[in-house]
Structure 1
């Protein structure tokens, strides 16, 4: 193994260590109260080294969110390949995401807020790290090809609207809570959205 490959592997291991330590600290002490200095100290690296890997604290959460999106995409691809109906798959992915957000209720708000960061570059980075709309688009594409989805809106726009709705409903639930579980809130929101997204059969 040449020296450059060794350095890259060392960097990957260091980044993974910082990430895992940071997520543990966020879960134990809360995202807001955990500082970059806390993470660096617990990871046995300097504060400057932390910022070399993560330019701001929220960037750690983008790695977490990206992992969640990868799992959702894998679930969607597997279920579609097994012949499951697209709408069934969409609800299964919706439920899986709601379950994840319920388990990690304290991590979701700062992650979601990053998508709406007033800094355009940070908002763009967050949007690219959390491609929920792409997963939804993958699931709905068979319905679009069969002509069962509205044609006055593009599939991309429909998928974006569904993903945006998830974001806002989950944020409100995380911040204020309701009598219903997030699982129930998200199913209600998705049902309402799909009534507008699916083409009505003529009678």
Structure 2
């Protein structure tokens, strides 16, 4: 059944529900531990059904592992002017997304990253997340150049860019924290890569 709400209101309602589920999940993880927290408990705390929970997050792990900012960064990369080098496109996109986050959004991201760092079963999926990030970034870079999504050069460039990001801010952040200072270091490291390797 299709909702009768206007599209914009419908999307805001979905975003609010998603944020509520994640916020209650993180609170429960912090209070009683990740392993001890069940999907039923999260759904009850967020006042949604279990089926609604799974519409937003396929698994309990995904409450922490899914990065809501990745699609925004991809969209910002695609919106960069033609001819913008890959490194500059990524830096510009990250700046557009992260430097517009409000204090509450930074705090939520810090909590997510801290949980990510302290739960072994979440860290075990870091490699899968990294491969997915490379796939997503490579496809965005290839699209900007009018190339197929599996273009080899785009994948190589995407791998180099993701590698730089991980070198500065590993999964879970440094000491379980992530803030604008970390972004500034990532930006400087990417610019170093652009200067030294001349990725075009």
Counting only pairs closer than 5 Å after superposition, residues 1-203 of structure 1 correspond to structure 2 as 6=1, 19-26=18-25, 29=27, 31-33=29-31, 35=37, 36-45=39-48, 49=51, 54=57, 56-63=59-66, 65=67, 67-80=68-81, 86-96=86-96, 98-99=98-99, 102-103=106-107, 104-110=109-115, 116-117=123-124, 124=128, 126-127=129-130, 130-131=132-133, 134-135=136-137, 138-139=140-141, 154-171=153-170, 173-175=173-175, 181-198=181-198
Instruction: Structure 2: give runs of 5+ residues left out of the alignment.
Output: 4-10
Instruction: Structure 1: give runs of 5+ residues left out of the alignment.
Output: 1-5, 146-152
What RMSD over aligned residues (CA atoms) do the two structures have, in Å? 4.6
The 1:78/1:37 distance shift into structure 2, 3 A limit, reads same
The 1:37/1:123 distance shift into structure 2, 3 A limit, reads farther
The 1:45/1:73 distance shift into structure 2, 3 A limit, reads closer
- 1:3 matched residue in structure 2: none
How far did residue 72 of structure 1 move? 1.1
Q: What CA distance in whole angstroms lies between the structure 2 residues aligned with 1:181 and 1:117?
A: 26
How far did residue 181 of structure 1 move? 0.8
8 Å contact kept, 1:166–1:186: yes
TM-score (norm 2): 0.58
Q: What CA distance in whole angstroms lies between the structure 2 residues aligned with 1:91 and 1:44?
A: 39
The 1:90/1:56 distance shift into structure 2, 3 A limit, reads closer
Greater Rg over alpha carbons, structure? 1
8 Å contact kept, 2:115–2:176: no
The 1:61/1:90 distance shift into structure 2, 3 A limit, reads same
8 Å contact kept, 1:115–1:127: no
